[in-house]
Structure 1
Amino acid sequence: MKERLDWENQRVTQKNREPMHSPWGAWESAEEAAKGERGSSGNVLSLDGTWKFHLAAGPDCVPEEFYKEEYDVSAWDNIKVPGNWETQGYSYPVYTNYVYPMGRADEERYTICASRKTGKREMNPPFVTGDNPTGCYVTEAELPAAWDGKSIYLSFEGVESCFYLWVNGILAGYSQDSKLPAEFEITELVHPGKNRIALQVMRFCDGSYLEDQDYWSLSGIFRPVALYAKPKIHIRDWKVFALPDEVLKDGQVTAWCYVNREDGYADTSVEMELLDPEGRSLCRVQSPVGGQASMYDRSRFPMETGAAFFQIDVKEILLWSDETPHLYTLVFTLKNEAGEAVDFERQNIGFRTVAIGEDGVLRVNKKRLIVRGVNRHEHHAEYGRAIPKEWMEKEIRVLKQLNFNAVRTCHYPNDPRWYELCDRYGIYLVDEINIETHGIERTLSTDPEWAGAYLERAVRTVLRDKNHPSILIWSLGNESGSGANQAAMAGWIRYYDPFRPIQYESGDPSSLISDIRVPMYPDLKWAAREVQDPADRRPMIMCEYAYAKGNSNGNVWKFWECVRNYPRFQGGFVWALTDKTLIYRDETGEPHWGYGGDFNENVVDSTPDMCLDGILTPDLEPHPGALELKIQQSPIEIRQKPGRPEEITLVNGFCWKNMEEYQLLWRVEKNGSSIQSGCVENLEAEPDQETELRLPLETETMDPDSDYTLNLSVVLKEDQWWAPKGYPVFWKQFVLQKKRTKKQEKSGGSLKTSVLGDVIKMEDGETAVVFDTKAGRITEWTVRGKQLLMSGPEETFYRAPTGIDRACGGVASSYADAWKEAGLNQLKGTTETVKTEIGEKSVRITVRRTWESGSGREKICTDLHYTFESGGKIQVRMDTRVPEGYPCLPRIGTELQVPKEFCEVNWYGRGKTETYPDRKMSVPIGAYREQVDEQECPYLVPGEWGGHEDTEWMELRDQSGCGIRIQAETPFHFDAHRNSIREYEQAAHWHELPEGDRVWLHIDGIFAGLGGDTGWFQTIHPEYQIGAGEYTMSYRMEPV
């Protein structure tokens, strides 16, 4: 039988790799350990920087013996480490949803199909099918003289997907699992002077079958590389439990500090010092390193072989939480038999509890946990998976600004620095094991041959990350089905760490595997029913919800109503944090954010832009949906007392902090202009409590013909690390009065009308309107000789599909597919009748049209009623009848084409952020102004964008102030852009849009919602759909 290659053998996951442990600091003193940044010690030598690099077509094509010291690599390219080779010009990145990205060398470029029936290419785990680009890395390291006599370890924190390591030409080891460290002792392989370090990194291996995440396939050494020097007998690892007592007043620290079992280890001892969050020493204790652990020890915290054991009580502790991330510090000092301090390590700890009560509610520090979470891939548009620490800190600042408190590390363990930052700044984590087999579903999860690989990944994740207070929950991976291999992982973790629950979604596992029900994109009715099921009292936390592809995130308020209504429905993790783009260059060399198919790759997903599914842009700017989430998931709420607008209730939904760092700004607006304002500086609301406030509103003299609103904003009193003074964390608007409805006054002046064949011309001093009765259109509208309108109003029922409208090709029929099948994207109007009524003061014209879809369906019918009056005023009313048989229409409205110079937009309605019927609660009504050209489309693939709901009037003006005003008695939806619906639909990238030569203005009586519960089914909720029926809209146009 032919011997298998290591990278095609699921039983071979490593050779000579060291056991996993907590990240080392390898400090030179206890004082340095207490204060220093990890990696700053003189016992650590970073190998990050420029390496020599050669990319071979496959493992069998690498230069022979390139790893030997005499092999000349001077002609090789330079490459940055950490970094992915695909982001540095080698090979190509591949994005796929769940079909494995392995191509075949003999194939042309092809598009994979995401259909569950036809989309699975033949896979044969553990064998790698097709080409397997292989990177050869070489660098040199010169060891400090002070390291002589010490044990030397070489650590790679992340290499994808597997690699061989040589040191000075000698094979040092092999490792796979792309998202966890691989460490090798190389003491016997190094020598004084320069040492050659060489790696052979394969893009794919048998481990790739366990790493089929919905993400980019990238390769190389993408996390830091470092050498560590340790004394011969040294601290190897440590495990800490920091637990509060029953009343959360005092605490107990239980710790094991493990020493490597070199000769003489039993004669050593460890000193442990505890420092409070201010760095003050609370206690210092010493314990001998134990010998053989007893097999009869049944204590809660047993002694362990080769470990010093500690248990200390701490009075009046400060709890760790997302709101109050108080960190204590443990410093471990190893002492030799002579009592000399020889090795030093540190661990930040936090006192907190995580437990599921008998009522099925998950609590942190005995308070109900509400997960305001998001799924985060490690991603950077320029660097791929190689994330700078500064970028991580920026991500956390944005999370805090948007009221997020939790992250799921989808779908693998993250860079160790991320956990340290989350400990420091207060972000709850679900730490996910690097297992996903989506492309072959549960095949490997039930296969005993793969049990070892599964369990190893779980064990190594927990061993590395066990001491972080930010980690509340362990996750067994993602979308791999359920089987014995998940049960094995869960069993080991529960025994090793009894203080954290476990979650897993795929296969709807029982409590044997998952302590929490973590549905993915649940139907709300289903969730509301299941979370009350007395037969399954587990808490429910959505592992993914509110799919944020493009213009999305409708209906999120409904999810948060469920969180407030059902104690065991405890929030969830939005999909996802950022649009996962990579930079590519067009034919002119200009850089752009790219997605699947932009890199000349030979594997392209059928939904190549499915990676653009974040609530943030690639440079961490919030999409409009992020602002809706910010308000809906805020721990702060404000209610107004019915009939007493000056009395409000401020709800402090924080669990552990009061409102002393915030103040309340309030403002009364009349028709969008501020007329009264004030500030409540001291908000005396304790955690989880309410407070009543009375505002000095002057509401007695409100003009009945005006709108009045009360705008409230909770802002920071002073600068915080995550946001500046004055930053609003929550806002809300209450309507104090709606102006009384008045019929629009008719113009009293006369109108000069002339008829020439099919053309009617209406004039009044400086204004003129020409109407072509044959075409049924306005062909000219001028004021003082200036053209106001190029075309329209013309009936419109279509929108450029959003990312959610286009959905995930092949899984189910999308709205875009349904609209095209119904012919809504190519409706042809036929003018059936034109009726005119010419009077002295007005002209009335009614145009009846039928709209043929070409799909055999009954025609849509419209009656467009015009009333032309003096002063250039035009009253428009459109009656529409939509017959049965059509899918949800995108809109019912009119389209106007306006000369390009009318580019200033003023309106009274919701803004400036775009709004839609099912995503508008976070955007207040007011008076706004912006330039058409200054609007920034937040979506990378063009589609519907920039809409404004609840608009009472809007204007388009030129630089001189001349323009068009549109006003309605019933609020309408509008947008104003430089490009047409068709141009937005056809462009694959924003920069591909043609330069617009006009303003396309849409006035809609009704607009369909966005949906976004998922990204692959039709999810516009019924109340936001436009179905069969009769609809009426009206507005008045006039020159300004």
Structure 2
Amino acid sequence: MTSTHQECPPYYESHTPSSGIRPARARFESDAAELDLNGTWRFRLLPRADAPTGGFEDPEFDDSKWHTLPVPAHWQLHGHGRPAYTNISYPFPIDPPHVPDDNPTGDYRRVFDLPGDWPQGPAVLRFEGVDSCFAVWLNGTRLGHSTGSRLPTEFDVAALLRLRGNTLAVRVHQFSAASYLEDQDMWWLSGIFRDVRLLSRPTAGIDDFFVHAGYDHTTGTGTLRVDTDAEARITVAELGLVEAPANTTHEVGPVDPWSAEVPRLYHGVLATTAERVPVRVGFRTVDVSGGTLRVNGRPLTLRGVNRHEWHPDHGRALDHATMREDALLMKRHNINAVRTSHYPPHPDFLDLCDEYGLWVIDECDLETHGFEQVGWRGNPSDDARWGEAMLQRMRRMVERDKNHPSVILWSLGNESGTGQNLRTMAEWTRQRDPGRPIHYEGDPDSPYVDVYSRMYTPHGEVDAIGRHAEPTTADPANDAHRRSLPFVLCEYAHAMGTGPGGLADYRDLFESHDRCQGGFVWEWIDHGIRRREPDGTEWFAYGGDFGEELHDGNFVADGLLFPDREPSPGLVELAKIHEPVRIKPHPESGTVRVTNTRDFADTSGLTFHWSLTREGTVAVEGHLDVDVLPPGGTTEVELPRLPETPETGGETWLDVRAVLDRECPWAPEGHEVAWGQALAGGAPLLRPVPAGADPARGEGVLTLGPATFDPDSGALRTISGIAVTPPRLDLWRAPTDNDHARHGVSVAAEWRRIGLDRLTERHIATTVDDDALVVRTRVAAAASDLGTLVTYTWSGDADRLLLTLDTEPDGTWPCPLPRLGVHLGLPPELGTVEWFGRGPGEAYPDIRRAARVGRHTRTVDELQTPYLRPQENGNRTDTRWACFRAADGTGLRVEGHPVFDFSARRWSTHALDRAQHPHELTPEERIHLHLDLAHNGIGSASCGPGVLPRYRLHAAPHRLRLAFAPLR
């Protein structure tokens, strides 16, 4: 049949979410026949949704001149149209349910044959995900249409199937009425991006089933009931349950309960005379009791992340290997929970959460955030015309995912305001599945949910909520209800660019208050799209890189993983903060305190190792016997007698590590899950401050120890023949995304206002005082009366040069300083760095727990962290000494008195500030070395709280002491 006109009103602009689709049901595999329809399809892209089909649904249509496109895929990532990114703003006028006439529309065709043994009887065509609205024809007959991009859709097709030459035609619209419900802070990408399958459904088979597997923590027994529409029997041989009737409650046990820490699954089979369905049963009971969220009678601490689905080449079309990599990376970085922001994930990911152990908040495919920009006028959440569309989305998620033990909370959606439709969704869900509490953050009164949820709540307010001391709300009944609920941060610690800071401070609050049960860092991965330059240079694009008129820039790059799934320093920090075992060595008493911070698992499976290092080199090591600790248990373990530290041996550090003693499903034997470190004695291997040598004047030069200076300005020229760019006071850093604070108060804007990015130095005096060279300057910016008085005091002996930098603010500074230190230039060949201090990764005042004291080596290029938008990065802290070497081993050693921060790069801070992408940074003919007393903290103000007071670098008198010596 050929259609030459659209429905009136067109289906893609209708409040009606679908037509012709089957009722929602669980997703499962079985021994019934199925046909994978993924692969290469024919494809064309049209500019408008109302374009005539031209008969493309007709089996006789000639599509030989069409393009080809893989399924699953997004057409924009295969050269058809362009990606576009917005965070909140709809990329079309807010005129619901209408969308623009210019509405890219993709037509797909696939011809397939049935296998020769394909059975007679019912058959279902199943789409796992199509963005955003699609209509389907099979062999010329229209099956219907559907919306709900991240939800499954099924059509009955048995009557239309033929043995050979079946023609499947699908029309997909980029925008539709449903787009108003899908404003989820991500790339606008379209197409058939999840799997397509044809499923045989035996007449006496299993259409749907619901596994109810409860656990009684007081008796250790389980209850198993499988509700189904068929005459079916359940077998779980391990439990002695053989051919037991479905739709009946069976008491079994004792059983091992399922938890994210011990994800025990029992494998069974649900069978009828016509079909066998494998089932995985995890026994667990979820409830809210006594103001806490509990599983199996124990309160949880959610150490979670928000996870968008993303791949830099394929967008949201993920293969199983990528999903598995996500689950393994989470487990290996001590993450125990996932919020599926802001839609149900590919169902395979939930299978992985069941298998490896991750708590899941399963979130409905719903967000209407763009209505906030018009005062929530017309918001679908409180418009009855949208009621069925919203309820259908909730129903399809719950029915699809109801058999996953990992799913412990249903979420109604995200940032969709308030309204009756949300309440209706909650009421239906509570009736359908009373065994899981309900989550929704967008309604601060929380009248129809079971947990109190907020996002980006400052630390002080989290503390108040933990004490039930939050401000009251207007309705006393709602206020009392909300105060009785457990508190969860559904989003916090915005992982955009450098950072996030303050993670440890949030963890301390979670541990201080029973009501505060953790949260979910925003977010898992940067949504960068991989691009390649003609010369092969690879980089990752963000909003605006595809010519979008309206976009939100790099706000889409706010993940703990880089787009290629390399962990960021933020993820390494999070892994340290969320260690399942906390280790605190106490060398002075000869003990180690070990605490099991897990909720369910004991410490069996872990082994503990200790080592004693001197100046970063292992001196002695051994195994530490630690009793198996129950959840929450603590013990003090005696250390073996440690050798005495020689007076000249340098600093001695005691490290204790907890590692897996055997391979487990998510990590190999020896994987480190926790570590602790403490100073055991000694002092840094730093020579005494030089006693001093008199500066000597020569022709056009002043010599002091191993260095030469300009005799007039006092500017350093060389150290032992190594030409350097003179050190100058440095207060500026290339602002981080958190400094910019797109959704908060921008400290970077204040820094620029007072001119910290354009400081100039006025020379006041150069004097030779006894055995020292003293240079005094004032550093300030044009159009400002603020300044910093600087004194460089140089002294030295034959081998070493000492700089004492004293600074004093001149005027009343309105903000913290970005950094305080000196910037100098080194020859480009000094490109290998070895240091003794914290590392190996970057660290700042409020993101440093993962950096351990030791001896580390990196190249200057390896010191850089390639954030998608270049910014301050790569700082190493608590450095005792650092050596910058050429290939022949010569170079420069820098020592702290006592410690310093450093960063080194082949481009200036101003170049870093100007660049929009890392590949735009061009190496210069020198290494820019920054030697700092301190940095301002990082915070999370890109979308959250700023730097906590204790991590701020205030303008005040400061002193930095550094020594320089040649490496020969």
TM-score, length of structure 2 as denominator length = 0.94
Which runs of structure 2 are paired with 1:412-427 in the superposition (5 Å)?
A: 412-427=343-358
Give the equivalent residue in structure 2 for 1:754.
Answer: 697
Q: Which of 322, 334, 353 is residue 260 of structure 2 equivalent to?
A: 322
Secondary structure of 2:847's match?
A: coil
1:646-689 deviation line (CA, Å, top 9, x unaligned) = 21122122333332211111011222222221112664223332
- Cα distance in 2 for partners of 1:737, 1:585 equals 51
1:620 equivalent to 2:565? Answer yes
Q: CA deviation at 1:725?
A: 1.8
Change (3 A) 1:907 1:588: closer
Q: Per the alignment, do residues 47 and 752 of structure 1 end up closer, same or farther by CA in structure 2, a change over 3 Å counting?
A: same
Cα separation, partners in 2 of 1:710 and 1:782, compared to 1, 3 Å: closer
- The answer to whether the 8 Å contact 2:265/2:282 transfers is yes
**Counterparts of 2:861 and 2:427 in 1: how far apart (Å)?**
59
Alpha-carbon distance change, 892 to 590 in structure 1, aligned in 2, over 3 angstroms? closer
Structure-2 residue corresponding to 1:983: 911
Matches within 5 A, 1:87-106: 87-102=77-92
| Structure-2 separation of matches of 1:142 and 1:670 | 71
Counterpart-to-counterpart distance in 2, 1:241 and 1:964:
68
**8 Å contact kept, 2:704–2:796:** no
Native 8 Å contact 1:26 1:229 kept in 2: no
Secondary structure at the counterpart of residue 57 of structure 1: strand
- Match of 2:322, SS state, is helix
In structure 2, relative to structure 1, the CA distance for the partners of 1:708 and 1:768 (3 Å cut) is: closer
1:152 offset after TM fit, Å? 1.5
Offset at 1:879?
2.3
**Alignment counterpart, residue 569 of structure 1, candidates 491, 496, 516:** 516
1:451 equivalent in alignment to 2:378 = no
2:410 is the alignment partner of 1:406 = no
**Which one-letter code corresponds to 1:172 in the other structure?**
L
Q: Which of the residues 703, 709, 714 maps onto 1:770?
A: 709
Change (3 A) 1:743 1:52: closer
Aligned-partner Cα distance in 1 for 2:802–2:566:
41
Which residue type is aligned with residue 260 of structure 2? D
Picking from 54, 57, 64, the partner of 1:74 is 64
**Mapped contact 1:662–1:683 kept (Cα < 8 A):** no
Q: Which amino acid aligns with 2:10?
A: L
Deviations 1:184-206 (A, max 9, x none): 00112222211100000000101
User: Which range is displaced more, 706-715 or 13-22?
Assistant: 706-715
Query: What residue is the counterpart of 1:654 in the other structure?
Result: 598
- Structure-2 residue corresponding to 1:8: 13
**SS of equivalent to 1:236:** coil
Greater shift, 737-746 or 346-355, is seen at 737-746
State the match for 2:177 in structure 1.
206
Inter-CA distance 701–909: structure 2 relative to 1 (3 Å threshold): closer
Q: Secondary structure at the match of 1:870?
A: coil
Any idea what the Cα deviations from partners look like across 1:73-132, whole Å, max 9, x if unmatched?
A: 011111000111111111011111111123xxxxxxxxxxxxxxxxxxx41111113521
Per the TM alignment, residue 967 of structure 1 is displaced from its structure 2 partner at its CA by 1.6
1:285 corresponds to: 244
Corresponding position of 2:422 = 486
Q: Residue 849 of structure 1 corresponds to which residue in structure 2? A: 777
How do 1:611-1010 and structure 2 match up within 5 A? Answer: 611-640=556-585, 643-644=588-589, 646-680=590-624, 683-698=627-642, 700-701=644-645, 703=647, 706-737=650-681, 739=683, 744-747=688-691, 753-756=696-699, 759-762=700-703, 767-774=706-713, 776-778=714-716, 780-783=717-720, 786=721, 788-808=722-742, 811-837=743-769, 839=770, 842=771, 844-871=772-799, 873-881=801-809, 883-1010=811-938
CA 1:399–1:882 in structure 2 vs 1: closer, same or farther (change >3 Å)? farther
Instruction: Using the TM superposition, give the Cα deviation of residue 772 of structure 1 relative to its aligned residue in structure 2, in angstroms.
Output: 4.2
1:117 aligns to what? none
> Aligned to 1:18, which of 19, 22, 25?
22
What SS does the corresponding residue of 1:571 show, helix, strand or coil?
A: strand
Q: CA deviation at 1:590?
A: 4.5
Alignment of 1:24-39 (within 5 A): 24-28=28-32
The letter for the 2-side match of 1:272 is I
Count of residues in Structure 1 that have an aligned counterpart in Structure 2: 944
Flag the 1:208–1:256 CA change in 2: closer, same or farther, 3 A.
same
User: What amino acid maps onto 2:235 in structure 1?
Assistant: E
Q: 1:470 corresponds to which residue?
A: 406
2:491 aligns with 544
Q: Shift of the alpha carbon at 1:551?
A: 0.7
What's the secondary structure of 2:428's corresponding residue?
helix
| Residue deviations 1:323-349 (CA, integer Å, cap 9, x gap) | 211112342222xxxxxx112323322
Q: 1:145 to 1:929 in 2, by over 3 A?
A: closer
Could you tell me which amino acid in structure 1 is paired with residue 454 of structure 2?
P
1:697-748 Cα distance to aligned partner (Å, 9 max, x none): 3255553873221111111112223222211111111122353999934357
In the aligned structure 2, how far is the partner of 1:855 from the partner of 1:721? 62
For residue 165 of structure 2, the aligned residue among 181, 188, 194 is 194
| Matched-pair contact (CA < 8 Å) for 1:881–1:1031 | no
Give the C-alpha shift of residue 458 in structure 1: 1.1
Report the counterpart of residue 281 of structure 2 in structure 1.
Answer: 349
C-alpha displacement of 1:241: 0.9
Question: 2:220 matched to which residue of 1?
Answer: 249
Q: Tell me how far 1:487 sits from its aligned partner.
A: 1.0
The 1:752–1:687 alpha-carbon spacing in structure 2 relative to 1, beyond 3 Å, is: closer
Taking structure 1 as reference, are residues 539 and 642 closer, same or farther at Cα in structure 2, changes over 3 Å only?
Answer: farther
Displacement of 1:485:
1.3
Q: CA offset at residue 601 of structure 1?
A: 3.5
SS in 2 for 1:420: helix
Which residues of structure 2 form unaligned runs of 5+?
1-6, 470-479
Q: In the TM superposition, what whole-angstrom CA distance separates every residue of 1:924-948 from its partner, at most 9, and x where no partner exists?
A: 1122222213335242221111111
Q: Is the 8 A contact 2:86 2:187 kept in 1?
A: yes
The secondary structure found in structure 2 opposite 1:381 is: coil
- Among 365, 370, 383, which residue is 1:439 paired with? 370
Q: Which stretch of the first structure deviates more once superposed, 373-382 or 735-744?
A: 735-744
Greater CA drift, 173-182 or 949-958 = 949-958
Q: Is 2:966 the counterpart of 1:1039?
A: yes
Bigger drift between 577-586 and 517-526 goes to 577-586
Q: How far apart are the structure 2 equivalents of 1:869 and 1:326?
A: 68
Inter-partner Cα distance in structure 2 for 1:552 and 1:703: 38
Q: Secondary structure at the match of 1:454?
A: helix
Structure 1 pair 82/801, CA: closer, same or farther in 2 (3 Å)?
Answer: same
Amino acid at match of 1:521: Y
CA contact (8 A) 1:662 1:681 kept: no
Counterpart amino acid of 1:846?
V
Question: What is the deviation of 1:868?
Answer: 4.5
Deviates more, 1:45-54 or 1:813-822: 813-822
C-alpha offsets along residues 195-230 of structure 1, whole Å, 9 cap, x if unaligned?
A: 100000000101100100011111000000000111
- Preserved CA contact (<8 Å) 1:832 1:849: yes
What are the residue-to-residue correspondences of 1:300-319 with 2, within 5 Å? Answer: 309-319=247-257
Shift in alpha-carbon separation, 1:492–1:647, aligned structure 2, 3 A? same
Is the Cα–Cα contact under 8 Å of residues 882 and 1030 in structure 1 kept in the other structure? no
Contact persistence 2:828–2:926 (CA under 8 A):
yes
CA displacement, residues 386-428 of structure 1 (integer Å, 9 cap, x when unaligned): 1000111111111111001110000001111111111111111
Q: Give the corresponding residue for 1:297.
A: none
Match of 1:172 in 2: 143
Question: What amino acid sits opposite 1:518 in the alignment?
Answer: S
Partner of 1:520: 455
Q: CA deviation at 1:60?
A: 2.4
TM-score, with structure 1 as normaliser: 0.88
Maintained 8 Å contact 1:813/1:1017: no
Amino acid in structure 2 at the alignment position of 1:795: L
